[in-house]
Every structure is written in C-alpha cells, then in structure tokens.
A and B are shown apart, each in its own frame.
Chain A
Amino acid sequence: MPTKVLAFAGSPRRHGNSETLLDWVLASMGDDPDVTIEKIALTEANISPCRGCNACEKLNKCIQRDGMDIIHDKIIDADCILISSPIFCLGLCAQVKALVDRAQVFRSRKYVLKLPVVPPGRKGKRLGVFLASAGQKWDYVFDAAVPSIKCFYHVTDVRDADISYLMINGIDEKGAIESHPTAKADAQKLGKAVIAELKKRLAA
C-alpha cells in the first residue's frame, strides 16, 4: 500500500516562497518509492468560501458544488496532509482560509452527526504539516494563522500533537527563501521524518 500525501499550495503566487518550502518537503518525501504525492494549488482549485448556511449539519455534505467536491474525498484518503500559506495581514491568505472554513462539513460530521471522518482503524495514523512564509521578521507573525490551521486538522482527524510546523519569517521577495540559511535543510529533514513516522504507524 502506498503512503498517500496530499499537499495544498495555498499562495496565490505560484512557485513563490511558501510553495518552494512545500516543494522541498515533498521532494524529500518523494525519495521514498512507496510514497504517492498530489499537490493542489488553491489559486486554481475553485474553492468558494463557506456560506455559513449550516446545511451540512443536516445533509452531511456541502450544498456548494465546486472544487471541494473532489478535494473532500482526497482529504479523507490522505495519510498526510500538508498546507502551505504565505502570511498576509498577519493571517492565512484568503485562499487558505476558504479551504479551512469549508472543512466545516467534517466538523458537522464529527460533532453534530456523530459520524466518523476517517475509518476507526486510520485514526491516529494521519499526520499534518503546516508550512508558512512571512515577509515580516516579527516572531509573533504566525500566531494568528496557527489556530485556524489547528481547526482544519482537528476536524479532519489529525491530532494536534501530529501536526508539524515549519514557518520561516523575514522572507518577502520571490525567491528569497532560496538564500535562507536553514529553510531547505529543515524542510528536507521534516519530509523524511514525517514519512518515517507514517510508515511506522501504518505498519503497526
């Protein structure tokens, strides 16, 4: 059985700093022949914001028909879900926030309808990775993004302790991450560590 990795490149700017960081992690994961990787660029994924209608609390599905129709199933199938986002105005970019808010259907399933999000056997065997880049150097620049990301993983049955973070501040212009002293090595190390941990859990 291949280990399935699903990655969301959240930035509206293709191949910028946060997506490069994501690519480094994915490349090191892909060194393992048993790993299948799918990357989705949110700017091309056609995900509308949540309408707040709460229909999913009754229907167990979203009333909107858009890119989330396919992504919903991919989120359930994945063993590891990665999200990368640039920090805009001290938060996730709007594209990532739309993805996070549309995970409301999983929250309804879990807490209102009391149905499983993933089959019981896969619980505790899913890992999450959040990658971010920020132009500002402030050390608190990521603080407001993390709680929303935790919500996404919580409702998709990735435990809080199973989320890894690699967040790089002080990089602004396109390509600036390339000259960061540690980002690439840290990303590669993270990719390897996540796959090793996953294989251990999936074999158990």
Chain B
Amino acid sequence: MTIAPIRKTVSVAAPPARAFDLFTGQMGAWWPKGMTIGASPAAAILIEPRAGGRWFERAEDQAETNWGRVLEWDPPRRLLLAWQIDATWAYDPGFETELELTFTAEASGTRVTMEHRNLERFGDSAARMAEMLGGGWPGIIDGFAAYVAGV
C-alpha cells in the first residue's frame, strides 16, 4: 500500500540560487529549535553539498547525530534527501524515505516545494519497533511517553 506524500509549498523573496544556499547552507539557523533528535540541542544542521553527502546535526559538544544523506545535489533547482529518521525518532541506516526540495523561479522570487514520500515505509519501521521492544530495548516507548508528557 502507498501513503500519500506530504507536500508543502512556500514562496520566498530570494531568487532560486540564494534560496537554495540559505536552505542547505544555513539549516541550523532556520530549522525550528527543538525539532531535532540529538541528545542535546543542535548547534548546527549540516548538509554536505554533494550526492552521497551526510545530513546531520551537531551539538555544542560536537556530538553528531545523523538524519540521512544527500541522494541528488542539483543546485539551484533541486535537492533530494534521504530522510532516515524512523517512527521511533531514531536514525536508522536501514530506513529511508525521500524528501525532495524544488526551487522554482517565480516573478517575486522562488517557490519552494517540499515533498516527503515513501511514508508507507514507516509501517515497516513500526514492525521493527515492535521487534526491538520484544528484544527488550529498555523502555523506549515509556521514555517517549514520559518525554512527550513533559514537553
């Protein structure tokens, strides 16, 4: 089965090349604070500018937490990322969904479209989560529930 992709669009004043640079080069500056997965707050969110490059966050203490990787690097029009954060909010190298960004010139700047697809793969991830729970991964769900309750 397929789950409909998520599509989001915004228009920004900058031309495509500038928008692409801001998006990829300064992600830590604009990505909402707290919406990261590392053990401590992210000081930077980095995308290595090439196909195969890493996509990860880096904390103040330099600890790095992977988010995924670059599948296609095609500035200033398109960026294809692998989102490898699973349903338990953990980076999983065996899990991959596509996040595609397109930057299209329009009269007033750039239309930025984000599409997150292959969402049905989270279902496999849910099954794996069950296996991990069965294998005794200590209280991950309890931990999440407690964390969520405390937010």
**Genuine A/B complex:** no
Q: Which residues of B contact A (CB under 8 A)?
A: none
Q: Which residues of A contact B (CB under 8 A)?
A: none
